Amino acid sequence: MRQLIAGNWKMHCLMREAVALAEGVAAGAGGIAAELLVCPTALHVAAVAAALKGTPVAVGGQDCHAAKQGAHTGDIAAPMLRDAGATFVILGHSERRHDHHETDAQVRAKTVAAIEAGLTPIVCVGETEAHRSVGEEQSVVAGQLAGSLPTPFPGVVAYEPVWAIGTGKTATEADVEAMHGCIRRELLRLLGAAGAGVRILYGGSVRPANAGSLLALPEVGGALVGGASLKADDFLAIARAAVSG
Ligand code: PEP
């Protein structure tokens, strides 16, 4: 399966900057074996999708509501993202679980809505430093998977240790290998044989310098990249480190 290299632009860029960044990524995408995805803020999805039309770079949202439409001021429905040109959506990112107190049940409801709208969900899981310090990282992540994933689950999982996001700290290769193995076992338990086909991305301070070793690990199906996705050259360098097959 091709690795997926996804950029999470979070709440960065004005419109013209987002379009320029997307154009920069598209300009360097030729010859890259990995699947490429950029996730701008929802306000910029349509403009970025227009800029990327006809290129191999896909566009995704960073969140969606669980309802198709309704009285939810400030929220964005999955069909709206799809209509604007998105084909993916990140769900349950730790910043949303923290800032907006999103629960596993809410993430699952959003995931169902995304799938119904024709979006591929990227469901994020990951432990805090406190969980890891007492050896609870695998049980926490297994619980998040069980609570957040619907069955069937035609989507992607992103393992993002909370303590590694935006901190410059990266999980060790041994930590990533152990956790991705644990996630694969949980996917098989929850989804049956279909669990073998779900890509598991690693996210947390992925940079051009560490991408090659992380992406070569077993059960790593790509990367979810925050800070380094805001520079087209860095994002492309990470994508070039992806392994094909
Ligand atoms: C993220 O927010 O998904 C992320 C992995 O951020 P960073 O690469 O900056 O750690």
CA distance 111 to 81: 13
Q: Which residues of 153-168 are buried (b: 16+ CB within 10 A; e: fewer)?
A: bebbbbbbbbbbbeee
Report which of 212, 153, 140, 224 is spatially closest to residue 179, judged by C-alpha positions.
140
Atom of ligand 1 nearest to the CA of 165: 10
> Probe ligand 1: pick from 5, 93, 165, 201, max atoms within 8 Å of CB?
165
Q: How distant, in Å, are the alpha carbons of 78, 169, 174, 206 from that of 159?
A: 22, 14, 14, 12
Ligand 1 contacts (CB < 6 A) are: 8, 160, 165-166, 203-206, 224-228
Catalytic choice (127, 160, 186, 219): 160
> What are 40-82's pLDDT values in tens digits?
999 999 999 999 999 999 999 999 999 999 999 999 999 999 9
Q: Residue 243, Cβ neighbours under 10 Å: how many?
A: 15
Determine the number of helices (DSSP H) and then strands (DSSP E) in the chain: 10, 8
The whole-number pLDDT of residue 162 equals 93
> Probe ligand 1: pick from 94, 156, 160, max atoms within 8 Å of CB?
160
Q: Is it the case that residue 193 has pLDDT exceeding 80?
A: yes
> What are 196-244's pLDDT values in tens digits?
999 999 999 999 999 999 999 999 999 999 999 999 999 999 999 998 6
The Å distance, Cα 70 to ligand 1 centre, comes to: 31
Q: Is 12 a catalytic residue?
A: no
Tell me what the pLDDT averaged over the chain comes to.
Answer: 97
Atom of ligand 1 nearest to the CA of 10: 2
Atom of ligand 1 nearest to the CA of 95: 2
Q: Is 93 a catalytic residue?
A: yes
Do 211 and 235 meet the contact criterion of CB atoms below 8 Å apart?
Answer: no
The whole-number pLDDT of residue 245 equals 58
CA distance 19 to 7: 14
CA distance 240 to 125: 25
Q: Is it the case that residue 176 has pLDDT exceeding 80?
A: yes
Alpha helices in the chain (DSSP H): 15-27, 45-52, 78-84, 94-99, 104-116, 129-133, 137-148, 173-191, 208-215, 232-240
The Å distance, Cα 128 to ligand 1 centre, comes to: 14
The angle formed by the CA atoms of residues 129, 212 and 233, to the nearest 5 degrees, is: 95
